[in-house]
């Protein structure tokens, strides 16, 4: 029958305590509750289990896509499910199950197609571990657990601030920051504020809207290769060192703009004089 509730099991792998949550198989009904009301409750249970988990294993049926006209493994909904795991900030491992049903002569071809499909449709998480396994014959099950344990360590790691900034300065010499609106968009300082998932705060000389997104994505990919944190979702929070001009009259639109830039700028524009200008700081 169809599993409707999540089953929780406590066990250990190589001396490490593990809590396994076996969720029900979800379909596209969890995205369209109005059309598939009978699948709404188990789908919400799976979402709750994803939010509780540290490492999420997305099981994909390999032979199912062979019967279709176009090979799409993982499917569109499975890609959406993987992106949902990424948005929640959880570590993701993709397990391609029933690999024993694929003929040995066709395995290299389908393996390359699956890896290419994952790389093209999930560009935000580069280096996602993919394990080709068979639960029936215990094929690569131990590899699945080893990959999950190593990914959990990378997901929980914290990087020293001095090491990050030393690498950042050397990297920006090789890959100079781009120019926009007549100034160079430079990252002045970076630090990691939390783990699970790794979250970094970047101070720049521009606002968050003016900082090119492709340059930020390039920094993320370079950090994954340098610090070996591939396959882990990373979050960047941009802060600006730019402050409003002291003798310029600010309109309501300007005040709202500076409030969105950062907490320091928001505190500055909250203290305006009668002419809608910044107050001068008292001399020490």
Pick 189 or 29 by higher pLDDT. 189
φ/ψ of 277, rounded to 5, equals: -120, 165
pLDDT average, residue stretch 23-32? 61
CA distance 92 to 128: 7
265 pLDDT above the threshold of 70: yes
- Residue 34 pLDDT level (bands cut at 50, 70, 90): very low
* pLDDT at residue 205, rounded to an integer: 87
Q: What is the DSSP string of 36-78?
A: -GGGHHHHHHHHHHHHH-SEEEEEEETGGGGGSSS--SS-HHH
* pLDDT at residue 71, rounded to an integer: 64
Share of the chain above pLDDT 90, in %: 39
Pick 207 or 169 by higher pLDDT. 169
Give the chain's end-to-end CA distance (angstroms, integer): 75
Specify the DSSP class assigned to residue 248.
S
pLDDT one-digit tens code per residue, 164-200:
999 999 999 999 999 887 788 899 999 999 999 999 9
Helix (H) or strand (E) holding 225: helix 213-227
* pLDDT at residue 70, rounded to an integer: 59
* pLDDT at residue 35, rounded to an integer: 45
Least-confidence region, from 29-33, 77-81, 245-249: 29-33
Distance of CA 226 to the CA centre of its chain: 17
Paired sense of beta strands 130-132 and 91-97, if any? parallel
Structural domains in the chain?
Answer: 7-155 (3.40.50.300), 161-242 (3.30.300.20)
pLDDT one-digit tens code per residue, 226-246:
998 888 999 999 988 888 877
């Amino acid at each position: 029958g169809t599993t409707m509730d999540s089953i929780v099991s406590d066990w250990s792998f190589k001396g490490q305590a593990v809590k396994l949550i076996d969720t029900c198989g979800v379909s596209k009904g969890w995205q369209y509750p109005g059309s598939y009301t009978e699948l709404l409750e188990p789908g919400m249970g799976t979402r709750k289990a994803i939010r509780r988990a540290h490492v999420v294993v997305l099981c994909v049926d390999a032979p199912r896509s062979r019967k279709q006209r176009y090979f799409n493994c993982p499917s569109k909904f499975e890609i959406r499910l993987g992106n949902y795991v990424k948005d929640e900030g959880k570590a993701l491992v993709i397990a391609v199950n029933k690999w024993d049903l694929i003929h040995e002569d066709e395995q290299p071809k389908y393996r390359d197609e699956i890896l290419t499909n994952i790389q093209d449709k999930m560009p935000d998480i580069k280096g996602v571990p993919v394990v080709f396994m068979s639960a029936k014959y215990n094929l690569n099950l131990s590899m699945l657990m080893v990959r999950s344990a190593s990914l959990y360590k990378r997901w929980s790691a914290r990087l020293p601030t001095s090491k990050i900034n030393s690498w950042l300065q050397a990297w920006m010499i090789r890959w100079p920051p781009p120019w926009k609106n007549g100034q160079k968009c430079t990252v002045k300082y970076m630090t990691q504020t939390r783990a699970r998932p790794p979250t970094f705060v970047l101070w720049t000389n521009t606002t968050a809207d003016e900082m090119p997104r492709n340059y930020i994505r390039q920094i993320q990919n370079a950090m994954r290769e340098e610090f070996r944190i591939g396959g882990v979702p990373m979050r960047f929070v941009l802060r600006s060192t730019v402050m409003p001009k002291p003798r310029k009259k600010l309109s309501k639109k300007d005040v709202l703009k500076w409030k969105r830039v950062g907490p320091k700028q928001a505190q500055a524009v909250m203290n305006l004089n009668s002419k809608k200008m910044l107050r001068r700081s008292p001399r020490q």
